[in-house]
Amino acid sequence: MVEVLITNVRTETFSNKILKILVDKFPSLKFNFDLEDFNEPYPCGHSVLRVEGDLIKINSIIKIVKSYNIECQLLEDRICS
């Protein structure tokens, strides 16, 4: 299973910090960030946090990420203008 979240994380340093926290908390899951899409304000401009694994507790992951004052939500199908 793969879940895709959008966040407002913009730097590699901060994304690495968040990845370490998530990997420590959920060692059976794989996480990665894509930091490339910031042409628009959040949520249309965002970074992508991908989560891969058999049992993903998405609400727990979102809660942890948000506890670091990061915007975080499931990626929705929508058109930004």
The tens digit of pLDDT for each residue in 31-63 reads 999 887 666 666 666 889 999 999 999 999 999
Q: Is residue 55 part of a domain?
A: yes
CATH number at residue 51: 3.30.70
**45 vs 21, more confident:** 21
Q: Is residue 79 part of a domain?
A: no
Q: Is residue 15 part of a domain?
A: yes
Domain count, the chain: 1
Q: For 18-26, which contacts have Cβ atoms below 8 Å and span 24 or more sequence positions?
A: 18/49, 18/65, 18/68, 18/70, 21/64, 21/68, 22/51, 22/61, 22/64, 22/65, 25/64, 26/53, 26/57, 26/60, 26/61
Predicted TM-score (pTM) above 0.85: no
The range of the structural domain enclosing residue 57 comes to: 2-74
